[in-house]
């Protein structure tokens, strides 16, 4: 059986919030080592990969691997019933039909428990190859979120260009064009504000801004986000989690 | 469709 306790429900709430625009139904895979998820969006242009290692939980026990088929919208509704600061416990039997979600508010001595009906989710599990990326850029999540939001007011797509000078986001839409240039910088007092650019060779690719804005829903999970680009691979947008990560992959726009 | 193919090709290529 699975029994997994998080000190703060906010972590799972934020994780589920950050994937619910992309994924409708998915399997949460629970194993001895932790909880993971891999799912594609309906249009098969983006893929989400989540890992929450067992050390990220206050208590974690999973005797044998369990697959929890979940409707993400339904899970969102149940998670909204708990407070951000509540202790959250997930429980499931070995062949579960429901996932039990318990919230404990220690200040008010309030315990609430909900059962989420599980479903069979037919999903192919794909391996993600180790990839040598041409460029990696780490920047503040708030900055990336602002860029994706601002450029989306002008256009549906963004061109990302990385070279040794820095990273440029630019777009050209019906009402006009825009661009933002970020140069590498290090901030010793506030390292989370630093911008780090690692480059093997310059790369320029275009992406759909709708998806980048969906990915930015994960901004509350980490101060920094890493973008990895290569001509031969989808864009990787990575947010580090306590003992894990949430990674979004997005195919570049082809043509136009 | 071409973007879908690219994503699927990338993940199946292992």
Edge-to-edge strand ranges of the sheet holding A34-40: A66-71, A25-31, A34-40, A46-53, A244-250, A233-241, A224-230, A135-140, A196-199
Q: What is the ipTM of this complex?
A: 0.82
Contact A252, B3 (CB under 8 A): yes
Cβ contact B7–A254 (<8 Å): no
Q: Would you call A249 an interface residue with chain B, using a CB distance cutoff of 8 Å? A: yes
Quote the pLDDT of residue A50: 97
Would you write out chain A's pLDDT as a tens digit for each of its 256 residues? 999 999 999 999 999 999 999 999 999 999 999 999 999 998 889 999 999 999 999 999 999 999 999 999 999 999 999 999 999 999 999 999 999 999 999 888 999 999 999 999 987 778 888 899 999 999 999 999 999 999 999 999 999 999 999 999 999 999 999 999 999 999 899 999 999 999 999 999 999 999 999 999 999 999 999 999 999 789 999 999 989 999 999 999 987 5
Q: Would you call A42 an interface residue with chain B, using a CB distance cutoff of 8 Å? A: no
Edge-to-edge strand ranges of the sheet holding A98-105: A59-62, A2-6, A87-92, A98-105, A110-117
Instruction: Compute the nearest-CA separation of A44 from chain B (Å).
Output: 5
> In chain B, what residues touch A127 (CB-CB under 8 Å)?
11, 14
Q: Would you call B10 an interface residue with chain A, using a CB distance cutoff of 8 Å? A: yes
Best CA proximity match to A39, nearest among A9, A86, A75, A7: A75
């Amino acid at each position: 059986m699975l029994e997994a306790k998080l000190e703060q429900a906010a972590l799972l709430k934020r994780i589920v919030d950050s994937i619910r625009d992309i994924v409708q139904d998915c399997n949460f895979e629970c194993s001895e080592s932790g909880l993971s998820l891999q799912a594609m969006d309906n249009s098969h242009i983006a893929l989400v990969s989540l890992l929450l290692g067992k050390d990220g939980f206050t208590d974690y026990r999973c005797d044998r691997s369990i697959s929890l088929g979940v409707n993400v919208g339904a899970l969102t509704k149940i998670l909204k019933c708990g407070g951000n600061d509540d202790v959250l416990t997930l429980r499931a039997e070995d062949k579960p039909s429901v996932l039990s979600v318990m919230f404990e508010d220690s200040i008010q001595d309030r315990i609430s428990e909900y059962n989420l009906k599980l479903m069979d989710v037919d999903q192919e599990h794909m391996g993600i190859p180790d990839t040598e990326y041409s460029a990696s850029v780490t920047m503040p999540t708030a900055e990336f979120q602002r860029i994706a939001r601002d450029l989306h007011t002008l256009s549906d797509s963004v061109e990302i260009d990385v070279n040794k000078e820095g990273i440029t986001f630019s777009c050209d839409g019906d009402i006009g064009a825009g661009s933002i240039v970020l140069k590498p910088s290090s901030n010793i007092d506030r390292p989370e504000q630093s911008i780090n650019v690692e480059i093997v060779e310059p790369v320029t690719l275009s992406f759909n801004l709708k998806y980048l804005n969906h990915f930015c829903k994960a901004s509350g999970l980490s101060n920094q986000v890493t973008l990895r680009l290569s001509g031969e691979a989808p864009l990787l947008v990575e947010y580090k989690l306590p003992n894990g990560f949430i990674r979004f992959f997005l195919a570049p726009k082809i043509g136009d | 469709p071409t973007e879908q193919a690219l994503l699927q090709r990338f993940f199946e290529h292992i």
